[in-house]
Amino acid sequence: MKLKDGFVLRRIGGHHIVVPIGAQTVDFNCMLTLNDTGAFLWQKLQKEITEEALTAALLEEYDVTEDAARADVARFIDSLREAALLA
């Protein structure tokens, strides 16, 4: 899986904000704010990656159990799907 083109992640005032660019500004009518973990996963999703690889990256970066990492990745991916942000 990979993110759709037309969105960039910006750090504004200490917050990670997803900003639509180009044609996406017409269709995307909400604001997405991410925490540090979400921003980390967002960066990984710039390239094609599996949920398993995202979980492994989370385990490598953060002190978290495998079950927690797997659940966090699944929730994050679900929220991206609901917002139609995955290619």
What per-residue confidence (pLDDT) applies to 34? 93
φ, ψ for residue 17, nearest 5 deg: -120, 130
pLDDT, mean of residues 31-56: 93
Q: What is the DSSP string of 33-62?
A: EE-HHHHHHHHHTTS---HHHHHHHHHHHS
pLDDT at 64 over 60: yes
Q: How far apart are the first and last CA of the chain?
A: 7
pTM of the model: 0.84
Is the Cβ–Cβ distance between 24 and 6 less than 8 Å? yes
Query: What are the sequence ranges of the domains in the chain?
Result: 7-82
What per-residue confidence (pLDDT) applies to 39? 95
In this predicted model, what pLDDT tens digit does every residue of 6-18 receive, in sequence order? Answer: 888 989 888 999 8
